[in-house]
Chain A
Amino acid sequence: MAALLEVRGLVKHFPVRGGVLLRKQGIVHAVDSVSFSVERGETLGLVGESGCGKSTVGKTLLRLIEPTAGTVLFEGRDVTKMDRAELRALRRDMQIVFQDPFESLNARHTIGAILEEPLVIHGVGDRASRRRRVAELLDVVGLPPSAAMRFPHEFSGGQRQRVGIARAIALEPKLIVCDEAVSALDVSIQSQILNLLLDLQRDMNLALVFIAHDLAVVRHVSNRVAVMYLGQIVESASAREIYAGPRHPYTQALLSAIPEPSPVDRDARLRSRVVLEGEVPSPIDPPSGCRFHGRCRYARADCATREPVLQRGPADGHEVACHYWAALS
C-alpha cells in the first residue's frame, strides 16, 4: 500500500536581501533534497537543532511555505501542484499544531467559535450539530464544556495546546504536523499532552509528523525518527534503533549531549561525551561535500568534496548519509 505521505527531493531556498535596494545577497539553503514517507497511523519524528530546517519542512508539507522544488504526495496527489480549492480541501485531511496555537488565532473569539470555525469553513453540519461537535471535541481533549464560552487569554499553556489540538482534529484529519507542539510546556503538562496525542492517534488512526528539538520527547512518540542537520536528513531509522545504535557521527554527538535524568555514573558518562566543537555553520553558504565535515571528528579528506546521500545503513529502514558509517562502527 502506498504511503499516506511521500516527500521526494524537497528543497526550500530563501533569498537573503540586504542593502538599500534589498538586492538578493545570497540564498539560505533551509531544506535541501529531503525525502521521507509517513504511513497511516504512524509517527515520524523530525529532530534537529535550531536552523536545521525541520520546521520549514513541516510548513512546506501544508504549503504554508511554498517549496522551491520537490514533490509532496498526499494519498498520491501532489500537494505542490494543487490550486487554492484543492489546498482548502486538503486541510480537512492535513493539519498543523504550533508551539503556541493562539498566536495565530483571534483573541476576541471564544474557544467555541474558534473550534467551530473549521467546521463552518468546510460546510460541516448545521449549527446545532456543530455545537454538539464542539462539546465533543472539548471532551476528547480533556477540557470542561464551559471552556466553549471563554476566551484564549483565560487559558494556561497546557490548556491552550489542548484547544490547538481540538481545532486540529475537528475535521478528523489523517495527518497532523506537530511543530514543537509541546516544547513550551512544563514537564508535568508536557506529559499530559503527549498522552493525549498518543490516545488520539490510536483512536483516529492519525499519522503524525512530530517536529521537535527534544530528542527524548521525539523518541517517546515516534515510530521512526529522521535526524536533520543543516537542511538535510543525515540519518533515519526506527525510534528504537536510532537511539540504540546511531551510525551518523552527528546523531551520535547529539544523543551523547542529552543530559540524562540520572546522576548514576555521571562522571564516566561526561568523560565519554562527544562534545561537538563550534557551532552549526551558516545555511547561506553551507560547507561543501558533507555539511557536517568541519565538525566531525572522523572526517577524511574527501568528506569536504564528496556529498554523501542518504543510503541503506546497517539494516532495512535504517539509512545513513555518511561515506564512512560502516568503517566507524
Chain B
Amino acid sequence: MKNVLEVEDLSVAFATDAGVVDVVGSVGFSVAAGETVGIVGESGCGKSVTALAIMGLLPRPAGVVTGGSIRFDGVELRTLEPDARARYRGRTMSMVFQEPMTALNPVQRIDRQLFEAIRLVAPKASGVDLTRRAIALLSEVGIPAPESRLANYPHELSGGMRQRVLIAMALACRPRLLIADEPTTALDVTIQAQILELIARLQREHGTAVILITHDLGVIAEIADDVVVMYAGRVVEHAKVGPLFANPRHPYTRGLLHSIPRLDREPRTRLPAIAGVVPALSEMPVGCRFRNRCEHAEARCEVEPALEATGKGSLVACVRWRELD
C-alpha cells in the first residue's frame, strides 16, 4: 500500500525561559491508506507535539521543527509556504482532539461550526446545501435526530456527542489522513467503545489513514496496526501490534505493559512498577533517556541508542535488546 504520510527523523524544539529544549527527536514512521498507526506514551513523551508538527499547528513562536522531513503524498510539507501548508489542513488532513469542549467554539451553534469545515472544501455551497451536508455528517457519526442538533451549542451536548461533532467536522473534507489525539480519553468506557468503533468504520468505508495518539495500551491493542512507543521525546520501539504486545523488546515498553492492572492478572498483588518519574526536559540524562529508570542500565547506555532492526520490521532503541531477550 502506498504511504500517505512519511515522517522521517523529525525533531522539534521549544523556546522556554530556561532556553531552547529538545522536545522531540529522530521520530520517524509512515502511514498508508486504510492503516492505523498508534503512537503511545505517557505525559510529556512528545506524542502530541509530533501530531501538531505534522499538522503544522505547533504553538508559535515557541515551537519549531528543527529537522527531518514530513511528506504527504511525497510532497515535503516543511518547506511549503504557510498558505500552501494551510491548504492541507481541513482538506486532506484533519485532527480530532482530546477535549471537544475546548476544540469547539463554545459560543457558536453546531451547524455554523460544521458549515465552516464544509466551506473549506465546498466554498460555493448554498445555505440549503450546507445544511443538507451538515445533517449528513452528523448522521454519519451516529448522532440521533441530527436535524434537531444543528441549533445546539456545544454545552448542550454530552461529552460523547461533542466528540462525534468534532469527528464530523474532521470528516467534512473526507480527509486522507486523520490524526486523533487522545480522542476517547475524556469519555466513559462504553462511549469510548462507540467512538472507536465509529473511527474504525469510517476508516474502512473511506480508506482513511489514521494516526491514533493515546496513553492507553488497551486502545492501541484494539485498533492499531503499527505501534510507535515514545518516551521523553524519542521513539523507543516501533513494531506491528502483534509482535509489540507478544514480544516487547524495550525495557520501557515491557515496564509499561507489566504495570497496567489487567483483568487476567491476580488481584491485589503488587504491580511491577517502573521506578521513578520521567525527568524534566532540563534534566534529561545524556544517552538513553530512560536509563535512570531502567533496571538494565549500564555504562554503554550513556550514548544515545539508535533504532535497530530486530526482524519482522520491528525497531528498538536499546543497546542491550539482544541480551535482554
A residues with a Cβ closer than 8 A to B are: 43, 49-50, 156, 158-159, 186-192, 194-195, 198-199, 213-217, 219-223, 239-240, 243, 253-255, 257-264, 266, 270, 273, 275-276, 278-279
Contact = CB atoms under 8 A, between A and B. Distances in A.
Nearest to A295: B190
A159 B280 CA distance: 14
B215 A270 contact: no
6 contacts: A213-B188, A239-B268, A257-B192, A259-B196, A259-B222, A276-B194
Interface stretch (B69-77, B130-138, B252-260, B281-289): B252-260
B322 interface: no
Contact of A220 (B241, B245, B268): B268
A255 B268 CA distance: 19
A279 B221 contact: no
A216 B221 contact: no
Interface in B188-202: 188-194, 196-197
Given A191-B259, A220-B271, A262-B245, 15 more contacts: A49-B188, A158-B277, A188-B274, A192-B275, A215-B263, A222-B267, A240-B267, A257-B192, A258-B263, A259-B192, A259-B216, A260-B222, A260-B263, A263-B245, A266-B221
Given A259-B221, A261-B245, A273-B193, A186 B267 contact: no
Interface string B201-229: 00000000000000111111110000000
Contact of B260 (A43, A187, A255): A187
Contacts of A239: 267-268
Given A188-B273, A262-B221, A219 B261 contact: yes
Interface in B172-202: 188-194, 196-197
A153 B265 CA distance: 36
Contacts, number: 134
A275 B194 contact: yes
A188 B255 contact: yes
A240 B263 CA distance: 9
Interface of B: 42-43, 144, 158-161, 188-194, 196-197, 215-222, 241-242, 245-246, 255-257, 259-263, 265, 267-268, 270-275, 277-278
A281 to B, nearest CB: 11
B160 A279 contact: yes
Given A188-B255, A259-B222, A220 B189 contact: no
Contact of B189 (A49, A187, A279): A49
Contacts of A159: 277
B158 A279 contact: yes
Contacts of B188: 49-50, 213
Contacts of B216: 259
Contacts of B259: 187-188, 190-191
Nearest to A260: B218
Nearest to A201: B268
B261 A216 contact: yes
A189 B277 contact: yes
Contacts of B222: 259-260, 263, 266, 270
Among B193, B215, B245, B275, residue most surrounded by chain A Cβ atoms (within 10 Å): B193
Contacts of B190: 49, 253-254, 257, 275-276
B262 A216 contact: yes
Nearest to B159: A50
Contacts of B245: 261-264
B215 A191 contact: no
B160 A261 contact: no
A257 B189 contact: yes
Contact of B215 (A187, A192, A216, A217): A187
Contact of B42 (A49, A188, A198, A275): A188
Contact of B257 (A243, A255, A261): A261
